[in-house]
A and B are shown apart, each in its own frame.
Chain A
């Protein structure tokens, strides 16, 4: 039992060594501060650790899974933060009343279905090469390109709607 845990410790140590930059960059683009991004990545890794036995020896699958958890955790974090801010009545709805294009983009990405949101963060914004991104998302490069195409058209639709509002 201890030997197995030692094995998983090594797997996670390697995962942090090799992929921390990727996890951080994904989280940082969503939560916008380095400290929050680190908290999110820690939380995602902890979730992965709890379910470590599902990933017997497939470290690529583990890494992709953590990437997706990072995206979900980051949005959960963002939702909680917005909720708290609204509760405190401090800068209500700040994120959505800002006119900058980047904020509109963030809002549009947040509105995407989970699959396409992950695609945008992991395959487009993280800067990973196509094949590596496909590996992280557990799909073929072709499927990934189709998802990217679909994600972009959804984004355009949402941005158009936001502009109309």
Chain B
């Protein structure tokens, strides 16, 4: 059984426990204050968010506006004629009547620089023509179903005038139409014959 003296001795022994602390008082205090210091408050968070939002809207608008200004084009038609030109070369005349490709001859030398699409209404029927031509060009067709010629001239920088005299499936189409530039070298015309 433990008496007072023995207990005091034991407590004295316990008191002598000495540990070495690696951190000095300054470092300890720094760690403590680092824990209690709240993160720096965000000043004007609302204004900051609004500014970021405005910048994003501006950037989006800068990207979208040219697209909005750009007319809606059926790129497929232009791609189709462009590919035909690439395949048949500059000397041949290429015209699509809807999806049917007809080749003929053309007068101007060199690769045709303009791609033209024409929506041609003959009565209740609509026919999509796509062709490639130079600024001043003549295209001759002599196919069984499609024949005739297209004469192209340029009156100004944004217009091509097409003089069509075509026989389509036995029907004669004679008209002079302006094709208006839409984007780059792509022209479009819409006529009722």
Contacts and interface: CB of A to CB of B under 8 A. Distances in A.
Contact of A45 (B20, B21, B23, B32): B32
A28 B17 contact: yes
B10 interface: yes
Contacts of A115: none
Nearest to A37: B19
Interface residues of B, number: 23
Interface of B: prevailing SS: helix
A37 B20 CA distance: 11
Interface stretch (A67-75, A77-85, A139-147, A151-159): A151-159
B33 interface: yes
B2 A102 contact: no
Interface residues of A, number: 34
Interface stretch (A16-24, A54-62, A89-97): A16-24
B13 A102 contact: yes
Interface in B48-79: none
Contacts of A34: 19-22
A125 B25 contact: no
Contact of B2 (A33, A35, A41, A156): A156
Interface of B: 1-2, 4, 7, 10-11, 13-15, 17, 19-23, 25, 28-29, 31-33, 35-36
Which 5 residue pairs of A and B lie closest in terms of their CB atoms, listed nearest first? A34-B19, A28-B19, A16-B29, A34-B21, A125-B15
